[in-house]
Structure 1
Amino acid sequence: MPSLQKTFEVGGSVIYGRADDVNRIIDLLSSEDGADFSSTFLSVVADRGTGRTTLLHILHSALWSAFDQRKLIYMPEKYDEKRLMRVIIESLTGTPCDITDLEILEDTVKEELMDQRFLLLLDNFEEKNQKCWDFLSALLKVCNEKSAVVVTTTREAVAEVKGLMKFYYMNNLSDRLCWMIFKHCVFNGQNAESDTALADIGKCLLTKCSNVTLCINVLGGLLRNFIAEDRWRVLLDSKFWELNEVQGDILPVLRVSYEYLPSHLKQCLKYCSLFPKEYLFSKKLLVHMWSSQGYIEPGGGNDIEDVGLQYFDQLLSLSFFQPSLLPDMKEDRFVMPGLIHDLVQQISENVYFQFKGCVQRAPESICHLSLVAHEFLSLSLNHIITRDKNLKSILVLSRSAFQHHISSCILNLVEVDDIFLKFHNLVTLNLNNTDIEDLPETFGSLENLRYLSLSGTKIKRIPLKISNLIHLQTLEAKDCHYLEELPRTIVQLTKLRYLDVSKEVGSVVMPQGIGKLTNLRDLATFNVGMDPSLHCGIEELKDMEHLRGSLEISGLMYVRSGIDAKESNMRSKEHIETLVLHWSDGKSFLKGDEGTEIAEVVLESLHPSEKLKEIIIRDYPGNNFPTWIECAHFSRLVSIIFDHSYNCERLPDLGRLQSLKFLSIQKMYSVEKLNLSYSEYNPENSVFF
């Protein structure tokens, strides 16, 4: 039997067995002579779990050069014409769209698409509304005649509403190909037929997957963890195959695979039922939520964050999560397949409750609540929860939190005082996507809180009473444009492990004593203050020895000596992978030779660990870069960015950095030469770049 060959690779994920489908769809989109594309509607009809979404991503890549504009959109459960138009406008303009008037939206879309060759890919399109098809038809009329709309759906009846529609029926994979994928998943391509008994059991188990790709991957991931005949036979004979709870589209193999997970992974999966379908998960933030709920069991001397990341990676290897294939993501994001999402919602109902904006009451037994924000919706928790509850979580979520395909929504959460007075057992609180501007004094009553997120809000200050939250582990207030400083009492939160107050413009002033937060593992930005009697100095980084990941140090123009900079002990921080050094407005702080000399001494004293992978230096006013940046000992350094080093006359020797792959030099107008001379760091006869 021939070995399994990959068909496509999208976003780093290898896709098997769909080459024929892709080629036939491209043929259907082509004109009769096959030379070019003609304006058309195409519906791809297929069962859930067969790879419809992946197919669209392949098409998005394969047809990249054939269209002027392309947009792939995951359709929400309820069609919203205005929202769809805003998404299209945002994708074409690259800027947020706040238009609410339907007529203006229509005119704007038509203007942006006029004569453009446009490919619109709509995934999970279950809308029968003729008005929707009329809108899509109007789109194609203003576009170039070689534009196309492709939708995926599970029901042919949906697409039949539109006349003159082309259809493509995407069948399940063949038995032969399913067996090949199964073997590749379980045995990593090694010969499975050598153990006849194991192969026979494997084929019996494979029949329970109904040739659905997702089920094959989930079952294969489970079996890969225990390749033994007796264990497989126990699974084959399991009573779970007959579970009465298996309903609707939930295939038994998914439920059985869930039942064989260890209890801590089951807890983590159930928590994900709070998030809407097609939500893009940040692995790091999800782990922080799991940690706040006590779902992560520390062990082996590893940090709890490392253990949590291992949990996620296990679920990822079992296909309960999949890497997002959306292009242009700044960091890795992950999505839960729709069938898996249905499963976790089914098994977690009555404890984890997702409020979607319709008229509904929460079950009496809930412990965790999420509010999926709809546009400008005002909401009081008193309308959802009839009496005080032992709530552990309140999450305000938006479908657009990490996605580009649905416009952002702001929730007006009224009677916020009630949250803090009535739900004092809260452990996890996410107020992102709300219009909150101030935290009331009752905020200090949440003494059990471990996770607090205020990102993207109009919050102006954080109350001094935050010091009451003695168990707080995570504080995220990212992109809070009106927040100017952290309260001085924050230094009392000694259990804090994650702090992010970064924003695109400006910085949040940090108080003197911030260095007491020695349990911090993740500090997105450290802002050196102007007044040393009130604000933190760079030397306060000294005892933050557990920092990891990415760290930006801004306000370096306020560092007045190399001694203070050296005291930060940056060289010992071996777990920092990305370091950003930002002088901010250094050009206007100290003019002339004095400011230049101090900046050079400070940068020389901020010698990072040789394990650094990326360094970014912004607004550096020095004439020369330090000698350490030329050192070949930085064997892991893959990326260097110099941005607006306006006085620099000489670029450092970088050609002997063994792993360097990316070098960006921006706004360095004074550079006169690149020095490639011999130095103590770079012996003679070295190979450059």
Structure 2
Amino acid sequence: MTAVLPTTITAGDHRSGMLLSPCPTSTQNEVLPVLELSYKHMPIYLKQCFVALSLYPKYYYLDENMVVWLWKLLGLLQSDEIYNRDEIGKLYFNELVQRSLLQSSIHGQKVMHDLVHDLACFLAGEEFFRLEEDKQTEVPWGARYMSIMPKPLSKKRIQISNSSQSLRAIIVIMGDIDIVNPEVLFTHCKKLRIIYVVQGSVQKALLDFIGGMKLLRHLTLSGYECAAHLSRPNSMSQLFNLQTLNMQAYTLLKIGRLVNLQTLPEIHLMKCGCFVDIRELRNMNKIRKLNKEVVYSMDCVMYLVSYMQMKLIYKVKGTLSCEHTEHRDANEAAVTLSRGQLLEKLRPHCQSRKVLRIQNLNHGNYPSWLGSASFSKLTELKLQACQSQHLPTLGELPSLKSLDIRQMVRVEHIGHEFCSLDRRFKGFPALRDLSFHGMNRLPEWSGVEDGEFPRLEALLFWDAFELRSLPLVPFLSLREFTLIDCRNLVTFPASATLQELNISICEKLKELPSLPSLQSLHLFNCPSLVAFGHFPSLTILYLADPFKEEILHRLVNSHLRMEELTISSNTLKSICLEPRSLPALRSLELRCPNLQCCDTLASINSLKKLNISASPRLHVPNSLRSQLEELYTAESF
């Protein structure tokens, strides 16, 4: 039904009430056919994703990243020229939210209403089966995709039966379930493509059957004992269709047999073959991702370069993680090239590279290929814990959308060289997300010129203790700005486009500039704030201790469009809200354990939701209770 109605239905609308409120069992048969209209009007790609959610139990909090992970695992997401699979998954997730098939709980997480969940299970039939301790323990004949959902804190042992010989996927959602006879899941199931088990009885039983799973494409395990088992003769000899192997493999022999493997697990490479012999990698021509590959010695890297003649480095597509570590011992052969020369030889394949992560780079200079415009398809770049005193020139990467810079503790200045060495070139033409974490010594970022960062939408500074100055040139597309633990920042430039501002632990911040498009403002621990500009579009305000009470009064009572207000304070005993200044306020949350007085609360006629569960001393007048749609008090929990 929600697909036929406008997609702007909110939790407060009467039309969505039937999805928000439980229906009696007697009317369930009448409601489900109506809800099925939502499914019939979905595009085919969304139908598959919706039905797959039946693998989660009722009332389960559906984290966006977790759901996208499941969809990817089941092969329901396909990338295109514009978006990768994660981005497409988030678009699908948001589309389900817009259709009101996923709703927000009182804690803000997304859930499926029990009737919507019933619809997903009805449409799934036997094809999607969920094994829970207190539910059906017989895997039906038609089951193809199976999830195992342990019950928290339960120690119950269960015995299962399996009628299916067509299982394609077995996924343990969380934790472990104690099954007396887990081997029945694998005895006759020769068509398994996906196995995700991380501990317990199911994993132990799997190891005895793994060698014969010729069609297996994705395998996730945990524990070094699994790697030891897979290193036995013939354990992996039949897994020639395996594409993804996720596990910690301190020792994993004969990995070279997995000729179709696209993602290497976390392994330890050694020239001598004591751990994983790198010579086994030479015929693995389909590798697309090196998953946190740990090179235990510079000599090993040299051997990889010389023996394989850079074949692996050049044919890797997708994601590359480079970690420069040093672990030498007395028996290790001498390295004939300098670290700088070695890094130059580790240039990744630039034609198809989309993701690049570099961390723990101990060399003072970056390789010359980093930031080269020849990486025309690179969209995501992460630099972490590198020891250089400056940032590389990255603004000439034509397709870079996401840049994450972390723990660059020696960097003390960011200038125009970060954007480009050529003043005629406008840096970062495609960048959307830029984040700095742990820039402890950085006092200034300058050198940004008009026309640079034209598409930047989200900017974050976290733990920039010495930061005092930001670029004066406005970012013309900036929508979200986050400052966390920037203790010396006093103010920052105005923005005409900024819609969401989050500031935490900025103890010297004194002033907020005028932000005409600002819709959401979150302030936490800004005790020095004394002035703020004009926010004519502000609808959401979150304010938490410590703050000046004068600032609280002015912020709360000077924005006529305010719809959601949250105040958190351990010291406030009274709050003055002016009803005439809050004509649109619909949601109010007060987290003030010592709050006793809010005299004008009953006069806010627009208020529909009130949460004072953390303000036990505050009384709610009966006149206000009658107008509220939602009320949460200390007695509610």
Q: How high is the TM-score relative to the length of structure 1?
A: 0.46
Higher relative contact order (CA closer than 8 Å, sequence separation 6+): 1
> What is the TM-score with the length of structure 2 in the denominator?
0.49
Normalized per residue, which structure has more helix? Answer: 1
